[in-house]
Amino acid sequence: MTIQLNTDKNLTIHQEYDEKIQTQLNEGLSRYSDLITRLEVHLSDENGSKDGLDDKRCLLEARITGKEPLAVTNMGNTYDLAITGALTKLKSALEKVAGKMKSH
Query: Is 98 a residue whose pLDDT tops 90?
Result: no
Considering the domain 2-103, what is its CATH architecture?
2-Layer Sandwich (3.30)
Read off the pLDDT of residues 12-69 as tens digits, 9 standing for 90 and up: 889 999 999 999 999 999 999 889 999 999 999 988 767 777 789 999 999 998 889 9
- Residue 46 dihedral angles phi and psi, to the nearest 5°: -65, -30
1-5, 35-39, 51-55, 94-98: the lowest-pLDDT one = 51-55
Q: How confident is the model at residue 103 (pLDDT cuts 50, 70, 90)?
A: low
Segment 78-85 shows an average pLDDT of 95
pTM of the entire structure?
0.89
> CA-CA-CA-CA torsion for 79, 80, 83, 84, nearest 10 degrees?
-150
